[in-house]
Amino acid sequence: LSDKLDKALHTLKGHGKITEVNVAETLKEVRRALLDADVNFKIAKEFTKKVQTQALGQDVLTTLNPGQLMIKLVKDELTVLMGGETVGVNLAGSPTIILMSGLQGSGKTTFSGKLANFLKTKKSKEVLLVGCDVYRPAAINQLQVVGAQIGVEVYAEVDNNNPVEISKNAVKYAKANGKNVVIIDTAGRLAVDEEMMKEISEIHKTIQPQETLFVVDAMTGQDAVNTAKAFNDILNFDGVVLTKLDGDTRGGAALSIKSVVNKPIKFIGTGEKMDALDVFHPDRMADRILGMGDVISLVERAQDQYDEEEARKLQKKIAKNQFGFDDFLTQIQQIKKMGSMKDLMGMIPGAGKAMKDVDIDDDAFKGIEAIIHSMTPSERSTPTSINASRKKRIAQGSGTSIQEINQLMKQFNQMSKMMKMMQGGGGKKMMQMMQG
């Protein structure tokens, strides 16, 4: 029977699959959300195209409802685009040399401190912080304050203004003093310029770090992508640190950067304090970019539009006295969709708890659906043709009894009558009545 049921459900026009209207409507909203989140236009377009191809042709009845499936498709694809897996920092080498790069104000010094603190407390490493920002008088001092806060030694040379030399000396010092990790904080400029690139590239060549990290301010949006590309061309860095994600920034830059330089985002910064080192999780960032609440509502909105269209079609049928069991089935599908609301709500922080005790039973309609699926198309469209011998066949086919069929027929007749009476009321009122 369940095979038969599956087959029947497959042939249900427009209900086994996400319809094209649905997908186009939803993806338009998704693309808007991506653009709002600072995702590059071209990337957003390619992205929605990819999801569209996946969405059309997916059979949803065997998995989830269309709305949920859309959310899942979009989220999964975003996660993949951002690297899929979390990538940690490479701690090979003795000592491990980690070089920070990026523009001024991106958060290099702050992140150097966070990373040092993390490696010290969580990985029991002896860390040396190195101040190579020799241009701003306050820069070395800032690093020393950070170092004092977390109890990590800071290497600096007050009278030396050659960062290449300082970094070389620092590595020597680290080796002589049993340090496991050397974190080199460098100077940035307000914008990409030749001098800065030359300097960082020389430091890079001289000390040959195991890990070169590019630090970028997420709030700079599209500029972040160009900066990332410029630094990657020179350094071929190993990973990205995306800072200042604690504000309203949605982090779309993450997706763009990953797409353009194809390097993993390893950490994110969500505050100025030293204790919070946030490892980058692609799936969480996907949630953030989409602003999960927003996407749920937009998927629902697209779904509602679709439902309204169906309701209009139904009204026409009622008016023409053409309401049959197929339409009855459609109504059941609509009601079942409400069941999945519970899961959708569960994704909204806070709302999940409130919905926990609400029980919406998916199985409530199984018997009814089985009976209708055992009817022939002509029986469905002309229920009056269902006589005693047909009832017997339907009961056998659906694994139910004649009594159950009679009860369904009775319900159906009552409903048809009612619908005829309230003509124009559409599916919503009917649903309310059915639920009593």
Element (H, E) at 330: helix 325-346
Partner in contact with 304, chosen from ligand GDP, Mg ion, none, beta carbon below 5 to 8 Å by kind: none
Residues 76/283, Cβ–Cβ less than 8 Å: no
Query: For the window 104-123, what string marks contact with Mg ion as x by the rule CB under 5 A?
Result: ----xx--------------
Partner in contact with 270, chosen from Mg ion, ligand GDP, none, beta carbon below 5 to 8 Å by kind: ligand GDP
Partner in contact with 85, chosen from ligand GDP, Mg ion, none, beta carbon below 5 to 8 Å by kind: none
Which of 83/269 has CB closer to ligand GDP?
A: 269
252 binds ligand GDP (CB under 6 A): no
State how far the Cα of 239 lies from the Cα of 102, in Å rounded to an integer: 12
User: What is the CA angle 266-204-263, rounded to 5?
Assistant: 30
Smallest separation, CB 202 to ligand GDP (Å): 19
- What end-to-end distance do the CA atoms of the chain give, in Å? 30
Residues 358/342, Cβ–Cβ less than 8 Å: yes
Strand partners for 278: 268
Which of 108/266 has CB closer to Mg ion?
A: 108
270 binds ligand GDP (CB under 6 A): yes
Cβ within 8 Å of residue 426, ≥6 positions away:
311, 312, 314, 315
Interface with ligand GDP: number of residues (CB under 6 A): 16
Q: Which stretch binds ligand GDP (CB under 6 A): 201-209, 265-273, 372-380, 395-403?
A: 265-273
Smallest separation, CB 22 to Mg ion (Å): 49
Question: Residue 223 annotated as binding?
Answer: no
Query: For the window 180-199, what string marks contact with ligand GDP as x by the rule CB under 6 A?
Result: --------x-----------
Smallest separation, CB 227 to Mg ion (Å): 16
Choose which of 93, 221, 271, 291 interacts with ligand GDP (CB under 6 A): 271
93 binds ligand GDP (CB under 6 A): no
288 binds ligand GDP (CB under 6 A): no
How distant is the alpha carbon of residue 52 from its chain centre? 16
Residue 154 identity: V
In order, the DSSP letters of 115-155 are HHHHHHHHH---EEEEE---SSHHHHHHHHHHHHHHT-EEE
Residue 162: helix, strand or coil by DSSP?
Answer: coil
User: What is the CA angle 238-175-127, rounded to 5?
Assistant: 60
105 binds ligand GDP (CB under 6 A): yes
Smallest separation, CB 115 to ligand GDP (Å): 12
Q: Report the relative pairing of strands 278-279 and 265-268 from DSSP bridges.
A: antiparallel
Kindly list the residues in this chain that would bind ligand GDP in the complex (CB under 6 A).
102, 104-110, 188, 243-244, 246, 269-272
Kindly list the residues in this chain that would bind Mg ion in the complex (CB under 5 A).
108-109
